[in-house]
Structure 1
């Protein structure tokens, strides 16, 4: 059932009533209002849950929230052309926007966007002023991509062109682009048509030493490949990915940048996530491998096991990488998020059958299994690890043997046990089991002896969306499964 919504004015009136009529203190009045509305099933995610601030001057007749007071002060400073005052109010506005989405939403509803955009346009020629103004615009549009209009899109491109040498301004402008492209297909298409892609790749090349710019630009490129706007039937995600790769050399730019930031897990996570979104064609997967992307991913994955893998095993893996990839370095411990993104990227590029062989030859199966076992409590890592192994096993009987020998099934079984309520873990584990036995039925008995039938049946019972893949896994494992024909092709004829 959809939650009810109220306006900020309605909420504030309830708080004020508690104070004036029921003589509650402000904090008690606020808490009571929140509890009352939530008990009625009201969605308060867009409501500023604070007592309205006192008027900033005698001219203001009623209380209002601080962010709206700041917005009013900024508007007055613009009218009086008080540059110093305007800069101070812009900074204060940004800080208040960062408190949460409710503050940003309230400001957006009360006309903040044209005021902030006007401040941006007035400051375009001044580096210090434009940085503050664009930062405010980025903060305001976070979660509110609908605010951006044609004038704003043109402004962002002008900033990226005029201030391309300044890393701070570039980062703020790209952050705004990223915010405005999430869940908004029209903004993505308009900005791409206007030429934002080369500006993003150029920013990565020009500011390659600035981790913040690289991270923002890589994220913006990734957002251009999303298809997440439910208001649009068909997006341009695939076309945008092709443009980034073919027209703007995106794969090389990202891979070279990853090599330059090999000690920054946050940047590497973003770059791996973007690479996985660009692996949309068979030749792109091969290009990532040829450019050294796979080598980099595998090396980064290996770097996380120095403290977790038994010494002899670790030396063996090091030796495999030295021979197969021509490099081996172990210097830092990636975060769980980085491991997840590396696995996601390997999964994407392994859609190419030749890349599958390269991954297995380089000892990738061992590393993936270790990753899953080491981060067994992290469902996202288990999901991506099982998915990687499932892709490697697809149409590759030899790879299936390696996965069996290296404990891939045991890792998948344990993942199913640890995360019974996580749909995607169950689905990817079932997919892996099915792929292993579809061309190698002799593995069925070994796998069944691990107790997978009960686990698959439990997944089938718990998750309705797991039905097809779970039943397919049971069928290929030789288990009894009830398959229902949805349509037999028999019945009455077609009538006009």
Structure 2
């Protein structure tokens, strides 16, 4: 663990450099920073200003404290709250542009101060102070120390309370869920706290009230709550949370969001969020049963026709997740999914980031499914692999996905293949050359390329 130092000790070291060693102030400051860094001291949260100067973060916090000296006792009029909102905005700007400022603010009591001030904002005042407070809080919550302070300061209950009281106000909902997303990122304890406060039921209610309203941070909050990103935890509870989200109908609400198609401002967010909820075979099949696959395939077609790369990528990624269910694989292929994907690749043949997603879903559809592999090659997956590998040799992830796809296309029953483009034609068209080049060029391609060469039946596949 890195050693820590107090602000007082740091300031004293700088003064010693000036008084005892005769250094200039700027030299004394840089020497202190350099010396402590060499000693492995963590300077996060330490104000590293020249002697006599004050950090803008500290000035902002001092102003907030001065603006509301009787915050815990006396009522405050709207004019004061408007001034406080300006200070909230200033703090947010400082912390958003530099994480070092967020660390300084956290170490100097900003989270406790903002939680206390936010909880005192009256319902009768304008929404500006509340929005500013939430946006500032979201910028402060950047590590487990700040999120831990947020929990101790009763932050989760305060935020959920405001969200419950403002279910009709999209701006407050968006800012409030921004705090939920920031607080729960990397913190399993905060995820649990929000779930205990029934954030899932609140989200379901809000999604029922506001359909396709563009509440971006609501989707971010769901995704974060379902992401196992706390390294301190051996067994995360997020998979249980995902099942709970699906059980109360949020997966169905997300599919409804997709049905609006490319006209919906929530389409990309809904795709990413639905992918986070689809954590097991049962949920994947349930999404299909409510028309999810039909809807996604339609969005894929629309994205190609309208040239929308963002939608194309997230829809392919979501389809890959749902294809983890063997039942869904058959449905996707049966509904013409292979042809739609190859058509999409022709629309975006100049963008390897889209092609790699298409290859990924074809690879999943072909895994342990010889009939699907046959359909894929018949649709043109082999040509897609060769052309893309030739055209984008520097696209490491696309090259890897291409190797994985080729492997899944040829691994099962090569001697009895019933589709016209067999492994001999693949080899004759030079696919071995491109696979070997990817293996030599990109470290992340080595294993996938070796497997592809082996299952193509070439000699020296491990070289």
**Pair in the same fold by TM > 0.5:** yes
Query: Counterpart in 2 of 1:432?
Result: 405
User: Does the CA-based 8 Å contact 1:416-1:455 persist in structure 2?
Assistant: yes
Query: Counterpart in 2 of 1:186?
Result: 189
Mapping of residues 290-309 of structure 1, within 5 Å: 290-306=289-305
2:431 pairs with one of 431, 452, 466: 452
Query: Counterpart in 2 of 1:165?
Result: 168
Residues 208-237 of structure 1 deviation map (CA, whole Å, 9 limit, x = unaligned): 2521x2x22222112222122222222123
Query: Counterpart in 1 of 2:140?
Result: 140
Residues 161-211 of structure 1 deviation map (CA, whole Å, 9 limit, x = unaligned): 222232221211111111112222222122213311111222222222521
Question: How many angstroms does 1:64 deviate by?
Answer: 1.9
Question: How many angstroms does 1:23 deviate by?
Answer: 11
Query: Counterpart in 2 of 1:281?
Result: 280
User: Does the CA-based 8 Å contact 1:427-1:469 persist in structure 2?
Assistant: yes
Query: Counterpart in 2 of 1:63?
Result: 53
Query: Counterpart in 2 of 1:257?
Result: 257
Question: How many angstroms does 1:279 deviate by?
Answer: 2.0
- Paired with 1:363 and 1:41, the residues of 2 have a C-alpha distance of 61
Residues 344-388 of structure 1 deviation map (CA, whole Å, 9 limit, x = unaligned): 011111122232222223332233224334434544323221110
User: Does the CA-based 8 Å contact 2:261-2:299 persist in structure 1?
Assistant: no
User: Does the CA-based 8 Å contact 1:67-1:107 persist in structure 2?
Assistant: yes
Query: Counterpart in 1 of 2:357?
Result: 384
Question: How many angstroms does 1:422 deviate by?
Answer: 4.8
Aligned residues: 435
Mapping of residues 288-437 of structure 1, within 5 Å: 288-306=287-305, 332-334=306-308, 336-376=309-349, 378-437=351-410
- Paired with 1:47 and 1:376, the residues of 2 have a C-alpha distance of 46
Question: How many angstroms does 1:341 deviate by?
Answer: 0.6
User: Does the CA-based 8 Å contact 2:262-2:302 persist in structure 1?
Assistant: no
CA distance change for structure 1 residues 401 and 23 in 2, over 3 Å: closer, same or farther?
A: same
Query: Counterpart in 2 of 1:313?
Result: none
Question: How many angstroms does 1:260 deviate by?
Answer: 4.1
Query: Counterpart in 1 of 2:117?
Result: 119
Local SS of the residue matching 2:263: coil
- Paired with 2:6 and 2:455, the residues of 1 have a C-alpha distance of 55
User: Does the CA-based 8 Å contact 2:262-2:303 persist in structure 1?
Assistant: no
- Paired with 1:342 and 1:180, the residues of 2 have a C-alpha distance of 28
CA distance change for structure 1 residues 412 and 89 in 2, over 3 Å: closer, same or farther?
A: same
Worse-superposed segment, 116-125 or 442-451: 442-451
Worse-superposed segment, 191-200 or 118-127: 118-127
- Paired with 2:300 and 2:5, the residues of 1 have a C-alpha distance of 48
5+ residue gaps, structure 2: none
2:65 pairs with one of 75, 79, 91: 75
CA distance change for structure 1 residues 375 and 110 in 2, over 3 Å: closer, same or farther?
A: farther
5+ residue gaps, structure 1: 54-60, 307-331, 485-496
- Paired with 2:396 and 2:43, the residues of 1 have a C-alpha distance of 30
CA distance change for structure 1 residues 261 and 299 in 2, over 3 Å: closer, same or farther?
A: closer
Is 1:271 aligned to residue 261 of structure 2?
no
Query: Counterpart in 2 of 1:472?
Result: 451
Is 1:227 aligned to residue 228 of structure 2?
yes
Residues 91-134 of structure 1 deviation map (CA, whole Å, 9 limit, x = unaligned): 32223333233332322222211111111111153452333322
Query: Counterpart in 2 of 1:197?
Result: 200
Mapping of residues 23-42 of structure 1, within 5 Å: none
Worse-superposed segment, 338-347 or 441-450: 441-450
User: Does the CA-based 8 Å contact 1:97-1:104 persist in structure 2?
Assistant: yes
Worse-superposed segment, 170-179 or 201-210: 201-210
Question: How many angstroms does 1:421 deviate by?
Answer: 4.9
CA root-mean-square deviation: 3.8
User: Does the CA-based 8 Å contact 1:389-1:403 persist in structure 2?
Assistant: yes
- Paired with 2:352 and 2:229, the residues of 1 have a C-alpha distance of 23
Local SS of the residue matching 1:235: coil
- Paired with 1:371 and 1:469, the residues of 2 have a C-alpha distance of 24
Residues 136-183 of structure 1 deviation map (CA, whole Å, 9 limit, x = unaligned): 212322566454314112212222222223222121111111111222
Question: How many angstroms does 1:333 deviate by?
Answer: 4.1
Mapping of residues 206-245 of structure 1, within 5 Å: 206-211=209-214, 213=215, 215-245=216-246
CA distance change for structure 1 residues 479 and 4 in 2, over 3 Å: closer, same or farther?
A: farther
User: Does the CA-based 8 Å contact 1:70-1:89 persist in structure 2?
Assistant: yes
CA distance change for structure 1 residues 172 and 292 in 2, over 3 Å: closer, same or farther?
A: same
Mapping of residues 67-106 of structure 1, within 5 Å: 67-81=57-71, 83-84=80-81, 85-106=83-104
Question: How many angstroms does 1:418 deviate by?
Answer: 4.5
Local SS of the residue matching 2:299: helix
- Paired with 2:351 and 2:53, the residues of 1 have a C-alpha distance of 47
Local SS of the residue matching 1:479: coil
Question: How many angstroms does 1:271 deviate by?
Answer: 0.6
User: Does the CA-based 8 Å contact 1:393-1:436 persist in structure 2?
Assistant: yes
- Paired with 1:419 and 1:102, the residues of 2 have a C-alpha distance of 39
